[in-house]
Amino acid sequence: MLNIGVLISGGGTNLQALIDAQKTGIITSGRITLVLSNRKDAYGLVRATQNGIKTQVIQRKVCADNETFDRQLLEVLRAHQIQIVVLAGFLSILSDAVVKEYPNRMINIHPSLIPSFCGKGFYGLRVHEAVLQKGVKITGATVHYVSDIPDGGDIIMQKAVDVLEGDTPETLQRRVMEEAEWKILPEAVELVCRTWKEKGLDCHE
Ligand code: GAR
């Protein structure tokens, strides 16, 4: 079993999908042992606590500078012996120093078909607003490795979702979550954990 750390900023429905996937046996090669949020009011923290998962909050705004935030985040991940990091709606860009610590062991879910509607400024509802504004007929979600380029790392999984007549950013966001994000994120987490387990990265059991 690998130790998975999930980083969140908000509601945590993707975190919930991961917790459910552990319960139903979709994720068997790793266990979520820490949920870390950059916002103290993130509802995902409640979901974690309800499921007996340790939580930690590190707020960028109360850190003296970005380096301090990154250092604290790395210290927490190391202290919990986190081996796989999952950005599940973590809406803060991490520095190279953090990303380098987890080469091919840090993954992110993005609510569009990368390389469309991604990169700096594209997060959360803004992605779906841009999709509707452009008038594309198909969107979706992507799970990818995190690299030093925002949303630019190698793609692990994608799933397409139809844009429907009369969609609002909210209805589209919900459909992308239900039909794509909550399915491919757990599958990708299991795939990455299993791959690393087979390579011998397993100090937990
Ligand atoms: C999700 O749609 C996720 O794909 C998106 O934020 C939402 C978080 O929802 N992430 C990004 O936009 C990253 N660029 P959740 O907190 O309910 O999982």
Give 87's Cβ-side CA count (13 Å radius). 28
Nearest atom in ligand 1 to the alpha carbon of residue 150 is 14
The whole-number pLDDT of residue 64 equals: 87
Ligand 1: centre distance to CA 200 (Å): 31
The whole-number pLDDT of residue 135 equals: 98
Mutate to test the pocket of ligand 1, among 18, 181, 183 (most ligand atoms within 8 A of CB): 181
Mutate to test the pocket of ligand 1, among 41, 174, 177, 182 (most ligand atoms within 8 A of CB): 177
**Can you read off the two tokens belonging to residue 133?**
């504004």
Confidence of residue 141 (pLDDT cuts 50, 70, 90): very high
φ, ψ of residue 155 to 5 degrees: the values are -80, 135
**Can you read off the two tokens belonging to residue 175?**
């459909």
Average pLDDT for residues 87-91, to the nearest whole number? Answer: 96
Please name the residue ranges forming H helices in the chain.
13-23, 43-50, 66-79, 96-101, 125-134, 169-176, 182-198
Model confidence at 187: pLDDT above 50:
yes
Average pLDDT for residues 102-124, to the nearest whole number? Answer: 96
| CA pair distance 125, 7, nearest whole angstrom | 19
Ligand 1 contacts (CB < 6 A) are: 8, 10-14, 44, 88-89, 91, 109-111, 123-124, 127, 177, 181
- 110 in catalytic set: yes
The whole-number pLDDT of residue 201 equals: 80
Nearest atom in ligand 1 to the alpha carbon of residue 10 is 16
Q: Which of 52, 7, 58, 62 is nearest to 185 (CA)?
A: 7
Confidence of residue 202 (pLDDT cuts 50, 70, 90): low
Ligand 1: centre distance to CA 78 (Å): 25
What the chain holds in terms of domains, given with CATH numbers, is 2-110+143-155+185-198 (3.40.50.170)
Q: Whats the size of the chain, residue-wise?
A: 205
Bridge partner list, 56: 36
Confidence of residue 34 (pLDDT cuts 50, 70, 90): very high
Nearest atom in ligand 1 to the alpha carbon of residue 141 is 4
